[in-house]
Amino acid sequence: MARRTKIMIPESRQALDRLKAQIAHTDDPEKAKYEIAKEKNIPLAHGYNGKITAEDAGKIGGALGGGMVKELTRMAMEQLRINPPKN
C-alpha cells in the first residue's frame, strides 16, 4: 500500500524527487527505497513486501526522509550564511 504524502507546494515534487534520488545515490527516485534497502541488507522486492518487519521498513523510510531533512537543513543554513536576514 503506497502512501504519498501531500506536499504543500505541488510544483516542488520534481525537486523533492531529485533530492530523494540524490540521497539514495541513484538517478531514479522510484528506485531510491530499493537502493537504501540494498545498502542496509534488507530484502525489499518490487511488489508485495508483507514479510519485512516494521523495523526494517522504518530503517528504509528513516534513511530517506532523515537524509532529505538533513540536506534541506544544510541548504537552508547555507542560504542564511550567504544572505543573512536584515533586521
Q: Do residues 71 and 22 lie in contact, with contact meaning Cβ atoms separated by under 8 Å? A: yes
Q: pTM of the entire structure?
A: 0.77
User: How confident is the model over 41-47, as a mean pLDDT?
Assistant: 92
User: What's the Cα-to-Cα distance from 36 to each of 6, 14, 16, 32, 64, rounded to whole Å?
Assistant: 22, 20, 17, 6, 8
- Torsion, CA 50, CA 55, CA 57, CA 62, rounded to 10: 170
User: What's the Cα-to-Cα distance from 73 to each of 57, 76, 79, rounded to whole Å?
Assistant: 24, 5, 10
pLDDT confidence band for 85 (50 / 70 / 90): confident
User: How confident is the model over 69-77, as a mean pLDDT?
Assistant: 94
